[in-house]
Structure formats: C-alpha cells, structure tokens
Amino acid sequence: MIVTFIHFSSSSTNKSLSVVEPDNGLRRGRRNLSSAVAASFVYPKNYEQIEVSRASGPESIAFDCHGNGPYVSLSDGTILKWHGPNMGWKEFAFTSPNRPRSICDGSTNQENEPTCGRPLGLKFDKNTCNLYIADAYFGLLMVGPSGGLAQPVATSADGSPFGFANALDIDTQTGVVYFTDSSTLFQRRVWLYSVLSGERTGRLIKYDPRTKKTTVLLKGLAFPNGVALSNDKSFLLLVESTTMKIFRFWLRGPNAQTLELFAQLGRSLDNIKTNQNGEFWVALNTGRAVIKSLFHRKFNDEVVLPSWIRDPVAIKFDRDGNVLEALDGGGDAPLESVSEVEEHGKSLWFGSAVKSYVGVLHPIN
C-alpha cells in the first residue's frame, strides 16, 4: 500500500528464497516495446471520480458475488459500499472490535490506525459471498454478506504475529486465501522505516478455511505487497515493492514451490489484480510529489516503455510477462497515487492509499 519509496539494491542472495531464473528471452535484457504490435497504450479520456464521503485512502476495491459495489477500504477502519449516485456510499463493515466512533469516524491520522484499524486488501469469496479483509493491524479477517464487525480468522503464522497484513487473493475452487505480511518489524504507520532499513521480514502466507491453518509459503521478502492468483491456479504473482520486482511463485507443476522473476519495473509497485481473461493489472504508485530521482531507477532487465508514455500509472501483463497495455496518467493529479486497478466489466476502477476518491475509466464507445 506504499505511495513512494527509495529503492535499495540487494547484492546478497536471500537464503530464504528459492529463485529460478526465467529460461526465455522475454524477461532477459531490456525489452523494447516501441512497436504498436507489441503493446497498445491508452490515455485516460473517459475518466470520472467518485468522491468518498468520509475519510480517505480507498486502497483496495472489490465487487461482491452478485457484481455489486464497489466496496472500498478506508483510512478510518471501515469498508464502504457504493450504492449508486442517488444513495452514495454506505458503511458496510469495520475491522476494530473496540472502535470509538468519536475518534475513528473520518480519521485520516495514521496514529489512530492501531485503534481504528486500517483495512487494506479486499476480496470476496464468490462461493460464500464472504468478504476477506487484510487489515494492517488486525490481520486476516472475514465478514459475511450482511457486513458489520469483521471477525479475525488468522493473526499469526509459524508462531510469529502478523505485523502488516496487506494484500490478498482467493482460490475460488478451494477457498484458500493467499496474502502478504509486508513486515514483522514495522507497522504500516511507520512503513518508511521498513523501506529505509532495507529489512527483509516480509512473508507470503496462505490460509485454508477448511483446516483453519496458516502456512508461510515464502519469507525473507522486501516489503511484499500485491498478490494475484492466475486463472488456472498454477501460480501467484507477487509484488516486492522495495526492489520494484514482480515474482512468479509456482503452486503447481514441475517448478512448484519455486520463485522466478516475472518483471522488473523502474517505478514503485503496489497492488496487482487478475482480470477475467487471466491478465494482470499492476498499479505503479508514482508519488510525483517526491523528488523523482529517489524512486525512478534503471535496471538491466527493466520493462522499457516508449518515451512518449510520460506517466505510466498502470501496466497490464499477460501470463508470460508481455506488456499488453500501459495507462498514461499524463502527469495529472487525479492519477497521482494509484494503489490498485480493478477491471470490472469494461471499466477500470482505481484505488489510492491517500486520495479521497475512487477513479473510474469507462470504455470509449
């Protein structure tokens, strides 16, 4: 859920990771995508904003099992549901069991987050219609279709409490939830310390609702952030924000339980979401308010976009790591800090960890 960060290169091998280098040319060397055949690029013209009536930071976006919503997670510890322009936003759920409304409602103060909660990742189980929530302070929670107080389903793994539950995805066949714990040392309200220190206490975890068991799949990660399951359930894509990398973690097949580099970007990365076609939208949380030299880096295997894409705020990849689309924000304020891109129907919905609105890019007829 990070907005901007400083990159620290890592010269040492992390013994906690099993890394397999890709064996094809797509992810080796600098990829030149200047050809219109290689990728199509769109600029947001048919764009609108839906103001959030309270608080800020609609970090994550989800639609329920009936396609209603969106639902968004906010800075004051609540999840709101959009009921259309006539009724607007209504409170659907909250994550803190002891949440004083006089302090929490509408809060944008990070110091209130341990009391009020800070829900981040959202995802509905399409079979049960239950909403799973990754809260930075209260762990992995679930709330039923009627909403209300979300109940914790997991707060630790391997005897270590979650320090910063962040993003999640669900296997709709098994109900298994995959989620990230960005740091076991630093809470969300002091996330910058995690980045500045270059620490690697982040984890990728799975929760099985049938056994009520949590399992650590990967540890030793540098601020793991977004996570997305492939349509065929064979692998996860995992964003490591500090290194600006996307990894593929194989769940099945000959490379099961191994990690390989999927893409290297030159901008800060946040959440990653799968669309109905099995493609992946990755949010590039540009953070233009910070000196660009702090977060624009060059890497030998970086995805290279044409120079006329001045302000990429999101990239769509296929399952092989090919760039299909790059969304150009044009340097404008509305798309300054995009945390998530959710493709619903033919529209793209944009979340933000800091803004007070949800963005929508409608198809151009």
Quote the CA–CA distance of 244 and 296 in Å, as a whole number.
Answer: 10
The DSSP string of 37-67 is: TT-EEE---SEEEEE-SSSS----EE--TTS
Q: Say how many residues make up the chain.
A: 365
Q: Tell whether 90 is covered by a domain.
A: yes
Instruction: With respect to residue 5, please indicate whether it lies within any of the assigned structural domains.
Output: no
Cβ neighbour number for residue 344 with a 10 Å cutoff: 17
The answer to whether residue 26 is domain-embedded is: no
Report yes or no: 108 and 58 within 8 Å, Cβ to Cβ.
no
Read off the pTM. 0.86
Q: What is the pLDDT, as a whole number, of residue 220?
A: 96
Read off the amino acid at residue 239. Answer: V
In a domain, 190, yes or no: yes
In a domain, 319, yes or no: yes
- So what's the pLDDT on residue 328? 81
Cα separation, 159 vs 322, whole angstroms = 39
13 found inside a domain: no
**Measuring CA to CA, which residue among 273, 240, 360, 292 is closest to residue 311?**
292
- Chunked mean pLDDT (size 10), the chain, 365 residues: 25 33 27 39 74 92 98 98 96 98 96 96 98 98 99 97 97 97 84 74 97 98 96 98 94 97 89 97 67 44 65 91 87 80 96 94 79
What is the CATH classification number for the domain harbouring 237? 2.120.10.30
CA-to-CA distance for 342 and 35, rounded, in angstroms? 26
Concatenated DSSP letters of 307-351: TT---EEEEEE-TTS-EEEEEE-TT-GGGSS--EEEEETTEEEEE
Q: How many structural domains comprise the chain?
A: 1
DSSP state of 141: E
Output the pLDDT for position 266: 79
Phi and psi for 294 in degrees, rounded to 5?
-75, -25
pLDDT of residue 242: 87
Query: For residue 149, how many other CB atoms are within 10 A of its CB?
Result: 12
Strands 303-304 and 31-32: parallel
What are the C-alpha distances in Å from 185 to residues 86, 141, 160, 193?
A: 44, 21, 11, 9
Q: Which domain holds residue 113?
A: 31-361
Q: What pLDDT shows up at residue 37?
A: 31
What does the block give as tokens for 127? 């079979």
Give the Cα separation of 364 and 39 in Å (integer). 18
CA distance 71 to 164: 21
Residue 121: C-alpha distances to residues 72, 178, 179 (Å): 9, 11, 9
Report if residue 20 sits inside a domain: no
Angle at the Cα of 49 (from 46 to 55), degrees rounded to 5?
165
Work out the widest C-alpha separation in the chain, in whole angstroms: 57
Which residues are paired to 282 by β-bridges?
A: 272, 315
Q: What is the DSSP string of 161-210?
A: E-S-EEEEEE-TTT--EEEEE--SSS-GGGHHHHHHHT---EEEEEEETT
Q: What is the CA radius of gyration of the chain?
A: 19
pLDDT for the residue numbered 189: 77
Residue 23 falls within a domain, yes or no?
A: no
Measured CA to CA, the distance from residue 92 to residue 240 in angstroms comes to 31
The SS3 of residue 115 is helix
What is the structure's pLDDT at 365? 61
pLDDT digits (tens, 9 = 90+) for 283-329: 987 543 332 333 445 555 567 666 667 778 899 999 999 999 988 87
